[in-house]
Each structure stands twice: as C-alpha cells, then as structure tokens.
Amino acid sequence: MTDLRAVIARRLLLPIARWKEGRHHFNQYRREFEQSQYYSPERLRDLQSERLQALIAHAYQHTAYYRRQFDEAGIDPASIRDPDDLERLPTLSKPQVQADLADLLAENYPLDKLTRDYTGGSTGTALKLYRDRRRGDARLAVGLRHDRWTGWEVGERAAYIWGAPRDFGPVANLRWRLSTRLVHRLTMLDALILDQESMARFAVELKRWRPALIVSYASVAYVFAKFLLERALEVPPPKAVIVTADLLQPHQRPVIEKGLGAPVFNRYGARELGIVSSECAFHQGLHLAVDSLCVEVLANGRRAAPGEPGEIVVTDLLNYGMPLIRYRLGDVGVLADRRCDCGRGLPLMDMVSGRITDFLITPAGTMIWAGHIPMIAIASRPGFEQVQIIQEARDRLVVKVVPGPRFVPADLEYFDQKMTELMGPGVTFVHELVKEIPRGPGGKHQFCICKVPTDLTRDVLSNPA
C-alpha cells in the first residue's frame, strides 16, 4: 500500500525545506550521483581525474598550505592529472590539520559561508574542520543514494539510534522537532548513554514510530539487539538497518538482524568526508563513493596491491572551502579486485580495522558510548594533541594525553569537568602526560579501552567463545 505521507514529503515538503535551507545544488548532485553509480570504471576514473585537476588548481591558487606544499616539493600543480599522480604529494594527518587550519581554508571562501564541524571518533584526536555549502549538498545527495540501496525510499520514516544529538540540530527547538517528524520523517533516539531504561524507551518508540529504516552505530545496534533478544522484546521490523561509525564485527551482524528483524547494511564514513563506502543489497563488499572522493590504501607508504591491507587515505574532490588532499583517516582497509553483481561501476573495498569504539561504564552501571566524548571534552581544547582513556574500574579512569604546543593544565581540568558531568560524581581521573600513545591491534590508535564491561558489552569487541 502506498504511503501517501511519504509521497507528499518526498515530492513537496522535502524539496521546499531544502530550498529554504539554502541547499540550491542538492537536486543537481542527486541526479548526478544516481547516474554516476552505474558508470563504467573507466568513465568513473575520467570523472575523478577531471575533478581532481580542478581541485588541485583551486587548492594551489587559493590556500596557503597547498601553495607551500607544492612549491617546497617543486611540483607543478598542472602535473597532477589523475589519481595515480597523487602519490607524488605528501599525506595530510589530523595533527597537521590542527596546526595549519587557517592555511588550509580557501582564501576565496568567507568563513561565514562555510559550515564548521568537529570530528569525534575513536582515535582520541578531535579537530575543527570546515566545508563549503555546495559540498554539504553533495554529501546529503550521496547519503540519500546509499540509503536507498537498502530498499528505503526518501520520505519514508527513519529512526536514528545515535549518540551525537548535535548532528540533528537544535533538539530543544519545537519548530525543529516538528520539521524533523513531519518533513524529514525521522526520530532520534539518544544513545549517548545506554542503560536498561533508555533501551526500553527505544523499543517503545520504535513500536510507535514504525520506521522503515534504522541507522545506528554498529556497537550500539549490537548492544540494543542483544537487549531485545535477552528480554524477548520485539519491535516492528524495518526494511533495513544501517550500521556505521565503528567496525562491524562478523559475530554482530546475525545478532542485529535477528534482534531488529531486518538485513544489516554496513557503512564506512568520516565526519570530515561524509560517506566513503557502503554495502548494497548484494552484500559483496563496500562500494566506494569514487564519484566524490579519491580513495587510496597505503602499505608502508606505497600503494597497496588489491587484497593487501593498508591505511585508508582519502582526497575529497568536492570540498573547495577546506580542501583535504590525501587525508589520513587512521583506519585499515583492503581494496577489492572484483566487481559486485549489482552492476554498479563503483569499486569495492573491505574493512580490516575500523573505528572500534568501546563503552565507558559509570559508577551507577550506565553505559556511555565513547565515540562522542572527543566532541564533548576534547575538540574545543586545542592543547590536546591526542587522548586515550583506559577505564580500570567504574570509578577510575586513566587519561593518557599527548600534549600539543598550546597545552595548559586547565585543559585537564576542563576534561575532568565534562567527564564528571557525563559520568556522574565519584570518578577519579589519573592523568598521564606521554610523548606518544601506542597503536593497538590493526595498527590503529584506540581512544577508549574499557576493562569493566557489563554483560551486554562484554563481547562488543570480540567474538564470544
């Protein structure tokens, strides 16, 4: 039966809302990305090369950082003509973005015309970043394309079990809430703090809202699905469940599918770049969004061979406000030398070591998703170069800090204050200033290590025996 409200939202309310939001390029990108996903690999490569040449020319002409990089290396920007030429350029790390933020901003884009954002995640390195509005439209268009791969359609109801309320706007604003429900047709379930009470509320809300699509962090979806199964609770099955933000472990997929009653679609992205890759309905790997990005996998600084794991390095082809060229995400992946049976020309990748993010446990036994902590307690303090939290007991956190050039003792006081607001009183914070934080399994810095899991989180990070 046709959902008339979904049709009205898709054809009337959403286009009006996007125009009022200033998203004047959204429809252009949506049409383009719907077509380009089926381009041949050769045509996609040509599109990448065309966009790369334009981006490099712009970055050299309008950003002090890239002018300096090219001139010091003696590289003519015009000589960078296709993705293979990128390996001649240096990579860009998060600490470099922190240190050279002003020089990375394009001189021909006024700051008030850019969208400011902060990264979170599990590496413990949070940073400020910007994107131009046109790039924001493109990100939204790519997102809708990949959401539709699940069988969900624009205008149908969706639910986000999410731990970053600011991703959805001013939640206390009545006008925003009405727009979210009536126009965008989504509800947000705040998963920053997970306990029996909050997950029971999730179940009630999902029964009432009956979304066609659920989007969540992989670890949160897994914990919630276990909660439902262990208590024999049922929710109306959506068409699909999209999991993202941390690494989907093999043992988690069947539990999520059984608990929520729908197939799981794995997704990999970054706040800095938007969606990098997603599964389609054939589940044969994650399709790379190469019509908006150049994705490299580097093994010991060189291009990894197909099937060889390496560090994921991405160039955003569409963000002219703050170009990110050869940006190191700190995750490990594998480029696949195969085509998907879906017929799309977008190449495939497999994840090896993504953002595995643990939970913290409060003295009261409440679970807190750690992936949002960098934005709460770290991002606004430029003195933090990197942070790692090790929870040894419910009331004891060891906080390892790599101090940056602007570090001051007040940074630690700020961190403790924000964490106390989050976890409640009675927690002792042990600070350790260190020169570096060792990499964990898979060569990735793990932001949070919790040694006191509850029954629900005990096997979030490993396959239970």
Q: What is the pLDDT of residues 335-348, one digit of tens each?
A: 999 999 999 999 99
Collect all residues with Cβ–Cβ distance below 8 Å to 366 and sequence separation of at least 6. 193, 194, 195
pLDDT, position 183? 67
Average pLDDT over residues 273-278: 96
pLDDT over threshold 60, residue 446: yes
Average pLDDT over residues 266-284: 95
Average pLDDT over residues 179-208: 86
Report which of 413, 410, 386, 411 is spatially closest to residue 400, judged by C-alpha positions.
386
More confident of the two residues 52 and 457: 52
pLDDT confidence band for 463 (50 / 70 / 90):
very low
Collect all residues with Cβ–Cβ distance below 8 Å to 73 and sequence separation of at least 6. 88, 89, 90
pLDDT over threshold 70, residue 430: yes
More confident of the two residues 39 and 362: 39
pLDDT, position 452? 84
d(CA 245, CA 243): 7
pLDDT over threshold 50, residue 150: yes
Q: Which residues pair with 162 in a beta bridge?
A: 190
CB 29 within 8 A of CB 137: yes
Average pLDDT over residues 47-75: 97
Among 112-121, 262-271, 284-293, 324-333, the least confident range: 112-121
pLDDT confidence band for 461 (50 / 70 / 90):
very low
Q: Which residues pair with 350 in a beta bridge?
A: 334
pLDDT confidence band for 433 (50 / 70 / 90):
very high
More confident of the two residues 296 and 175: 296
pLDDT, position 106? 98
pLDDT confidence band for 462 (50 / 70 / 90):
very low
Average pLDDT over residues 187-196: 87
Q: For the chain, which domains are there?
A: 359-450 (3.30.300.30)
Q: Which range is most confident: 116-120, 162-166, 219-223, 461-465?
A: 219-223
d(CA 147, CA 167): 17
CB 65 within 8 A of CB 100: yes
Average pLDDT over residues 216-227: 92
Collect all residues with Cβ–Cβ distance below 8 Å to 20 and sequence separation of at least 6. none
pLDDT in tens, 77-105: 999 999 999 999 999 998 899 889 999 99
Among 1-10, 133-142, 406-415, the least confident range: 1-10
Average pLDDT over residues 171-198: 74
Average pLDDT over residues 380-402: 91
Average pLDDT over residues 356-379: 81
pLDDT confidence band for 7 (50 / 70 / 90):
confident
Q: What is the pTM of this model?
A: 0.84
Q: What is the DSSP string of 286-331?
A: EEE-TTTEEEEEEETTEEPPTT--EEEEEEESS--SS---SEEEEE
pLDDT, position 164? 60
pLDDT, position 66? 97
pLDDT, position 464? 38
More confident of the two residues 95 and 132: 132
pLDDT in tens, 293-351: 999 999 888 999 988 988 999 999 999 999 999 999 888 899 999 999 999 999 999 98
Among 42-56, 168-182, 215-229, 231-245, the least confident range: 168-182
pLDDT, position 443? 56
Residue showing tokens 């260190």: 434
pLDDT, position 247? 84
Average pLDDT across the chain, whole number? 88
pLDDT over threshold 80, residue 447: yes
d(CA 286, CA 242): 12
pLDDT over threshold 90, residue 181: no
d(CA 371, CA 164): 9
CB hemisphere CA count around 260 (13 angstroms): 35
